[in-house]
Amino acid sequence: MSAILFDRIDEPGLNDIAVYEKRGGYEALKKALTVPTAGIIEELKASGLRGRGGAGFPLGTKASFIPTADIDKYLVCNADESEPGTFKDRELMQKNPHLLIEGMIIAAYAVGANRSFIYIRGEYELQANILEEAIAQAKASGYIGENILGSGFSLDLVLHRGAGAYICGEETGLLDSLEGKRGNPRLKPPFPANQGLFQGPTLINNVETLATIPPILRMGGSEYAKLGVENSAGTKLVSISGNVQRPGNYEIELGMSSRDIIYGLAGGPDEGRTVKFWFPGGSSSPVLTADDLDLAYDFDTLAKAGTMLGSGAIIVVDDTNSVVDVALTLASFYKHESCGKCTPCREGTTWTVKMLQRIQDGEATPMDLDIISSVQEQIIGNCLCVLGDAMAMPVSSLVTKFRAEFEEHIEAARERNGLGMTPPPASEEPALSL
Amino acid sequence: MTEVTRFTHGSRIPGWDDAVDPDKAPAPVPDAATTPVPAELRQEIEAEMAKYPVSRSALIPALHAAQRVHGWCSPEAIEQVATVMGITPGEVAAVATFYDMFETKPVGRQTIYVCTNISCSLRGGDKILAAMKAAAEGDADFNIRGFECLGACDMAPMASVNGDFVGPLEPADCAQIVSDLKGGLEVIPSKQLRARPCADPAGNVAVTSNEGGQS
Ligand SMILES: Cc1cc2nc3c(=O)[nH]c(=O)nc-3n(C[C@H](O)[C@H](O)[C@H](O)COP(=O)(O)O)c2cc1C
Ligand code: FES
């Protein structure tokens, strides 16, 4: 497979518009502006491209939800990239910013949006500066502004820096943040396609999703759909990190074996160590174990295995690590990032951290594991957004799949702590003889 | 048994547990006549406001600008943002306290975020944080914070040093970083993100001809 998004990604000066144009950049835009907008949406539908930000919703379908009426409409690029383990958008924006910009202009044209925004996480300073420069170049070349290339279509593009909050990656939290407020998620419906930024219809997509639009139009939607497997068309940038020898971003064709990604591309764990468990789609995805390494890496296969492809971020944890440490780091993140609006998430993340801390401190009993599991159940599905679920699902999977290790840890920590052995579970208690 | 402390829920919101005076009247929009704003800061905020159909959208960019001038989101900085944007200091403070990058207490100018999230902690991120704190011990010019995933887990364990990403770090690098900053030097250039090639061999194929567009 030849690279699509990572095609000659390290070419020197690619962030400059001249280099980008020399390799065929902005040609897809020129062509798009001569096609009726409905035709572009049809191409996007034909490509089968599913959103790359986490939820995997088909791009063409989402774009077709935007009303065609002549009203103020908006396009927002989600460049908040804060899901632990995810760093693919960073590399794309830093090295090929014009690919994203070209994709955004085409998407805005397709849905009739005249104002567009890139919401980039505040910590990405280098990438923000590069994008700012690239946007200025695109404006100077007439690709952004009034009456673009004589088409009659006008577009403004503003780069907006966030300030450090995971919840601003959630699309409605992002919209509130972009309106200058605290990034609290909104009740859905209404969905952003009907009522989003400044109450107007808003198309909101991930960086990688939008950057795939120019290649789709160059190849043709049906040609792109031939890449990958059924229901998971195309290529995907996968961020691999944790205990692997060659961490980094790799572009894969969806449907590749997970083992080939983790061992073949990333080199697997260090000599003498083995994979204990792995997060297939960012820290929010339920974990898989070494037994699952032969699963195909695509949306449906991972969903069937009870987890998700998410943002395409694989975190590998090897056998030298304690499952309790990982669970505590994980839960602490969601506790810190919970915006506090919904009680089950705010309190559930807080108490989960406290209970895991009790386990670490040797103050827990195996009953705490049941309470942890029940708290997770009470979070899932009970909040405005899925931040709480994003902790509950992986934590539940860790407790279920590694219960024996949690119990051993509880026992050992209690002994270290001088609290002695825990009482045997109720079922094994000798019956009281009266 | 750990005693459960009531009403300190470890909220991310600083000041959540501070005493409040319910009788205090809410602060109005500060009077421009009695709230001087440095000309450059005013200009920058006004330029940001002009970019958006609703000027309130410029609040986060305005706070970034004010923090750069004042070193933190001080009450004075908040008043200045409020007067230029025509909103109350309460509205500004509510936003400033929500976001991790805004400092709501006075801090040193040299800002280092050390990532302690999953991928970095699997590779020793917590040791890096401890080493960084030790290296800058007692120097009020340094603001060293453990931080959530910074989106650079490929270079774990890593840190953001005044906005520049560096990694993978060894504990010994921390003293180097601190002394580089004190000397006004660029920190460990060979470990900077901007110098890092893509890991994917397919993305690094040699450029032979640029003609004819993408293959
Ligand atoms: C807590 C939370 C955090 C999220 N963070 C991001 C993010 O950083 N980047 C992103 O693209 N999508 C993120 N999403 C998903 C967005 O809500 C949304 O589904 C996505 O931007 C849609 O774009 P796509 O269809 O192109 O994937 C997050 C969702 C949740 C619930
Ligand atoms: S976990 Fe440290 S940068 Fe992602």
Q: A242 pairs with which residues across the strands?
A: A316
- B125-135 vs B173-182: helix axis angle to the nearest 10? 40
Whole-model pTM: value is 0.94
Q: Please, what is the Cα angle at A52 between B156 and A206, to 5 degrees?
A: 90
Domains A17-225 and A323-416 agree in fold:
no
Whole-number Å distance, alpha carbon A173 to ligand 1 midpoint, is 10
| φ, ψ of residue A353 in degrees (nearest 5) | -60, -45
Confirm whether B214 is domain-assigned. Answer: no
Do both B134 and B203 map to the same domain?
A: yes
Ligand 2 pocket, B129 CB below 6 A? no
Ligand 2 centroid from CA B147, angstroms: 9
Q: Which of B156, B163, B212 sits opposite A247 (nearest CB)?
A: B156
Binned at pLDDT 50, 70 and 90, residue B6 comes out as: very low
User: Does pLDDT of B100 surpass 90?
Assistant: yes
Residue numbers of B between 162 and 191 with CB closer than 8 Å to A: 163-165
Set of chain B residues whose Cβ sits within 8 Å of the Cβ of A89: 151
Shared domain for B117 and B192, answered yes or no, is yes
Q: Which residues of B touch A199 (CB under 8 A)?
A: none
Average pLDDT over residues B99-106: 96
For residue B125, give the CATH number of its domain.
Answer: 3.40.30.10
Q: In terms of domains, do B47 and B134 share one? A: no
The CATH-assigned architecture of domain A228-318 is Roll (3.10)
Query: How many whole angstroms separate alpha carbon B179 and alpha carbon B182?
Result: 5
Q: Are residues B141 and B177 in the same domain?
A: yes
pLDDT number for residue B146? 97
Q: Given the structure tokens 């859905």, which residue do they identify?
A: A188
Residue B15 within a domain: no
Contacts of A18 (CB under 8 A, 6+ apart): none
Contact A116, A155 (CB under 8 A): yes
Task: Name the band, by pLDDT with cuts 50, 70 and 90, for residue B204.
Answer: confident
pLDDT on residue B214: 41
Q: Are residues B156 and B131 part of one domain?
A: yes
Average pLDDT over residues B47-55: 98
Average the pLDDT over B150-162 and give the result.
98
Q: How far is CA A80 from CA A83, A87, A362, B192, in A?
A: 9, 10, 38, 21
| Among B59, B154, B215, beta carbon nearest to A241 | B154
Nearest neighbour of A90 by CB, restricted to B13, B57, B152: B152
Looking at the fold, whether B114 and B198 belong to one and the same domain comes out as yes
Q: What is the pLDDT of residue A330?
A: 98
Mutate to test the pocket of ligand 1, among A75, A83, A89, A118 (most ligand atoms within 8 A of CB): A83
User: What is the number of CB-based contacts under 8 A between chain A and chain B?
Assistant: 218
Give the model's pLDDT for residue B4: 46
Whether residue B174 is contained in a domain is answered as yes
Residues B89, B114: one domain? Answer: no
* Contact of A116 with A74, CB cutoff 8 Å: yes
Contact A237, A250 (CB under 8 A): yes
Taking the Cβ of residue B138 and every Cβ of chain A, the question of whether any pair is shorter than 8 Å is answered with no
CA angle (A83, A86, A87) in 5-degree steps: 130
Residue B7 lies in a domain: no
Number of domains in chain B: 2
| B167 Cα nearest atom in ligand 2 | 3
Taking only residues 103 to 142 of chain A, the set having a beta carbon closer than 8 angstroms to any beta carbon of chain B reads: 115, 121-126
Q: Using 50, 70 and 90 to split pLDDT, how confident is the model at B215?
A: very low
Characterize the bridge pairing of strands A313-318 and A235-242.
parallel
Fold category of A17-225 in CATH:
Rossmann fold (3.40.50)
Residue range(s) defining the domain that contains residue B86 = 39-96
Q: Which residue has the tokens 């972009």?
A: A178
Q: Would you state the pLDDT for residue B2?
A: 52
Pairing mode, strands A228-229 and A232-233:
antiparallel
Residue B5 carries which side chain, given as an amino acid letter?
Answer: T
**Residue A317: closest C-alpha in chain B:** B122
Give CA separation, A351 vs A83, A168, A372, A410, in Å. Answer: 22, 23, 8, 17
Q: Does A248 touch chain B (CB under 8 A)?
A: yes
Domain stop point among B96, B127, B145: B96
In which residue ranges of chain A is pLDDT below 70?
Answer: 1, 420-434
Residue A184 carries which DSSP code? P
Give the right CATH number for A323-416 from 3.40.605.10, 3.40.640.10, 1.20.1440.230, 3.20.20.70. 1.20.1440.230
pLDDT tier at B21, thresholds 50, 70, 90: confident
Q: Among A113-127, B9-23, B105-119, B177-191, where is mean pLDDT lowest?
A: B9-23
